[in-house]
Amino acid sequence: MSKYQKSDSGMRKTLLIFLLISLALTAYNQVIKGTVLDQKTKEAIFSATVYFNGTTIGTLTGDKGNFVLDVTKNVPMPVTVSMLGYNSATINSTTYLTGNPLIIHLTPKVYELDEFVIKAKPVARDRKYNLFLFKNEFLGKSVNAQNCEIVNEEDITFNYESDRDTLKAYASKPLQIINRKLGYKLTCYLDKFEYYKVSKSFIYEGNLIFNEDLAINNPERPVIERRRRIAYHGSRMHFFRSLWMNDLKSAGFVVYNSTSDYLDYKSIVFEDDKYRKFLSFKNYLAISYNSKLPTSSILFLKEKVFFDKNGYFGESSISWEGRMASQRIGDQLPYEYIDQ
């Protein structure tokens, strides 16, 4: 073989290595770019939050509505865009991974006049009671939840339907929440909250972003970490992470059908051609955690429920009952949480 052939062979190897490195960098450094606009005026929206719901990962739009977000660690979770005075928008991974710049339109929130108009001087006693109901359902009733503080409570407005059964809550600004027990500061974009007094049920629609870890450099960090572990074990996040790994039994979970028959992984999980995993079952599922008796159950609102390795799942596709249903924002951990 001539020296020229050797040189050519070496060059091909170098190019191949370079190509493999480039592909690896592309695979592990996925960045999306886009612009956020007002749906009606088409004007750029400055300082909108672009983030992964329930995480610490997010960014703000610039003065021209543009943003850049690293999605590497959170694919295939959907991206959420929120802004004061607008309804939040959700973009799934099949859309934001096309490689094309995104154009995202936000629609302004419009309240019906009879919904938002309240007494000019509401009775302080009524507001105190309404706030009590709201916190119990929104934050939860656990010790963690009861020690949460909504910093800007004054931005919450309450109103009843004419039948006095349905309490509606509106937030003129994103809610700033301090969770002292679990050591987090977080922001909630509240899109909808309705509480039904007779049935004692509620509807909540909104998105969270964790802003700050208060346990860093905190002398009580070991105590806070222990509380986090307690909140995590047996949670919905723990369940879906264990389900992803096909490790429910070792994690302490058992799943049953309506006739109390044990269900294995293959009975309730399937993958699509893109290797995404879905939870699916024709009837409701009963779940026990470190117990011989079911403590929670799932009622499917949709045929299948997407979930991923971080414990993220399509919340609008499921209705919960029992122990897992009682876990509200006051017990929620960011999807980056690692059980140690």
Comparison of pLDDT for 50 and 24, the residue scoring more: 50
Report the C-alpha dihedral over residues 104, 108, 109, 112, rounded to 10 degrees.
-140
CA distances from residue 77 to 97, 105, 135, 283, 332 in whole angstroms, order as listed = 11, 20, 28, 26, 17
SS3 313: strand
Residue 196 pLDDT > 50, yes or no?
A: yes
Query: For strand 102-106 and strand 31-38, is the pairing parallel, antiparallel, or unpaired?
Result: parallel
Average pLDDT, the chain: 88
Residue 186 pLDDT > 70, yes or no?
A: yes
User: Among 41, 49, 44, which residue's Cα sits nearest to residue 83?
Assistant: 49
The average pLDDT across 160-170 equals 81
Whether the model clears a pTM of 0.75, i.e. scores above it, the answer is: yes
Q: What is 11-18+24-106's CATH topology?
A: Immunoglobulin-like (2.60.40)
Report the C-alpha dihedral over residues 293, 298, 303, 305, rounded to 10 degrees.
-110
Q: Which residue matches tokens 């699509």?
A: 272
Instruction: Give residue-wise pLDDT tens across range 69-98.
Output: 999 989 889 999 999 999 999 999 989 998
Residue 179 pLDDT > 60, yes or no?
A: yes
CA 248 distance to own-chain centroid: 22
pLDDT of residue 3: 46
Amino acid present at 18: F
Report the C-alpha dihedral over residues 69, 74, 80, 81, rounded to 10 degrees.
-10
CA distance 49 to 67: 9
User: Among 232, 212, 201, which residue's Cα sits nearest to residue 331?
Assistant: 232
Residue 200 pLDDT > 90, yes or no?
A: no
User: Among 144, 184, 188, 186, which residue's Cα sits nearest to residue 170?
Assistant: 188
Residue 284 pLDDT > 70, yes or no?
A: yes
pLDDT band at 234 (very low <50, low <70, confident <90, very high): very high
Residue 29 pLDDT > 90, yes or no?
A: no
